[in-house]
Structure 1
Amino acid sequence: MLCVPFAGAGPSFFHPWRQLAAGRWRVSAVELPGRERRLLETPYRNVVEAAKNEVDDIVADLGAGARTVLFGHSLGAVLAYELAHLLSTRGVHVERLVVSGSPGPWTQRERRAAGLPDEEFLARVEEFAGFRHEALDHPEMRELILPVLQADCEMHEDYVPSTDVPLAVPICSLRGDSDGLVTAQEAQQWQAATTAGFSYVEFPGDHMYLVDLGREVLDVIEAQSARG
């Protein structure tokens, strides 16, 4: 399973999933510039560019002929969508794309955070996500995190898909049932992004429901995969 982090997050968010997924998948995560081991690198501001630049390293990590489930939440959902198109041409068999907390790839947000002054930006992101990362209350950590979060929001809010061609890969769309950022109708727009099967599942919680429901998310993905 290849996991793609949401705005401001790094691969360590998915480390607990490794144990939860033991015996089901080997869990790996995309590590983008500007966070964790790549802290000193300049973050991307364009989703399509990010996918194209990172795909070679991802293929090398997954291995030739790999079969994988792609998972992405929010920003990670559209980046995973772009990667799914690319991986399918690189010999990686994407068995399923699982998108979470995201409208269909052609739907852009009407309300934006990118470009706002720092405090307004953080308030808007907190409003969108439904929670505030405690690290933002520490000046040193905030100085590190804020530029990455701003770049991530910009590339998410400016995202335009690289192609109108739907994937020939089943898509499962997940959503928190009280998500104030993505409606149920928007989350189901992903059906138009595939010529294969589509499913939709809701969990209790808001936009960041997956913080507390990793095991439940993995159980649903396993059940969906078993259906073929």
Structure 2
Amino acid sequence: MASTALPLACLPFAGSGAGVYRAWRHLDSDALHIVPIQLPGREELYLESAFIDAVRAARWLTPRVLEAVGGQRFALFGHSLGAVLAYEIAQELARTGNTSLQHVYVSGSPGPGHVRENQATGLDDEAFLARVREFAGYRHSALDSPDLRELLLPTLRSDVEMHENYRPSTTEPLRVPVTALRGVDDTLVTAEQVRGWEETTVKTFTHVELPGGHMYLVDGPEALLNAISGS
């Protein structure tokens, strides 16, 4: 990591873990250093209980993010569920008077006040997975394996419940810049919904459209990281 690189703490989207972002580390540059952040209930924290409340999850995550970035100035990034976690971590830092956060990048998510009408929580397994595929725009191949599905489904259900039941902890605007990113072909989150993030900050707001659909960052993070580096 270059001494001038800004640590970018990356929050998982529903059903994923820090491993998604560990795969990005080879893309570290003079501008950015990728810092994957893990949630309980997955990968090396598989035996820990997953959260179903985003505000509580953010309070748990905040000191761990600060430890991971080593006390440096840093930025937050989150996609979909990760976007609301990044936002709530930013609010927690503001409440505690911590000023090390420099920028919040939210991706593939409506503004935090948006409530999804058609929910997956409470559906049986097949209906739940079909609804999640509808929401996410893709289905992970691991869910086609009965054994892997049994392992992954409880955490995915917890993540989806956390996202669907999320309500912002406060309407107090942030005092750091916010950039909202979206795949230009995203059929799940509209550009208008993404612009709802403008209300969350008194600082600069930027709306960026990138090539791809809702899960554009899975196909290749280069365009995303270039947009963040240039902001």
Q: TM-score, normalised by structure 1?
A: 0.94
Q: Counterpart in 2 of 1:115?
A: 122
SS of the equivalent of 2:105 reads strand
Equivalent residue in structure 1 for 2:211, among 181, 186, 204:
204
Number of equivalences: 223
In 2, the alpha carbon distance for the partners of 1:55 and 1:111 equals: 30
Equivalent residue in structure 2 for 1:218, among 208, 225, 228:
225
User: Are 2:86 and 2:104, in contact at CA under 8 Å, matched by a contact in 1?
Assistant: yes
User: Are 1:82 and 1:162, in contact at CA under 8 Å, matched by a contact in 2?
Assistant: yes
User: Are 2:32 and 2:229, in contact at CA under 8 Å, matched by a contact in 1?
Assistant: no
SS of the equivalent of 1:26 reads strand
In 2, the alpha carbon distance for the partners of 1:54 and 1:70 equals: 12
**Offset of residue 92 of structure 1:** 4.9
Q: Counterpart in 1 of 2:49?
A: 42
Q: Counterpart in 1 of 2:87?
A: 81
Deviations 1:61-119 (A, max 9, x none): 2223x211110000000000000122343635111100000000011111111111100
**Offset of residue 206 of structure 1:** 1.4
Q: Counterpart in 1 of 2:5?
A: none
User: Are 1:128 and 1:180, in contact at CA under 8 Å, matched by a contact in 2?
Assistant: no
Alignment of 1:1-228 (within 5 A): 1-64=8-71, 66-88=72-94, 89=96, 91-224=98-231
User: Are 1:81 and 1:97, in contact at CA under 8 Å, matched by a contact in 2?
Assistant: yes
Gaps of 5+ in 1: none
Percent identity of equivalent pairs: 48
In 2, the alpha carbon distance for the partners of 1:119 and 1:167 equals: 39
SS of the equivalent of 2:161 reads helix
In 2, the alpha carbon distance for the partners of 1:81 and 1:200 equals: 16
User: Are 1:181 and 1:207, in contact at CA under 8 Å, matched by a contact in 2?
Assistant: yes
In 2, the alpha carbon distance for the partners of 1:200 and 1:35 equals: 31
In 1, the alpha carbon distance for the partners of 2:181 and 2:99 equals: 23
Q: TM-score, normalised by structure 2?
A: 0.93
SS of the equivalent of 1:76 reads helix
Gaps of 5+ in 2: 1-7
Name which of structure 1's ranges 162-171 and 20-29 shifts more when overlaid on structure 2: 20-29
Runs of 4+ in 1 over 6 A off after TM superposition: none
SS of the equivalent of 1:27 reads strand
Name which of structure 1's ranges 160-169 and 80-89 shifts more when overlaid on structure 2: 80-89
User: Are 2:13 and 2:81, in contact at CA under 8 Å, matched by a contact in 1?
Assistant: yes
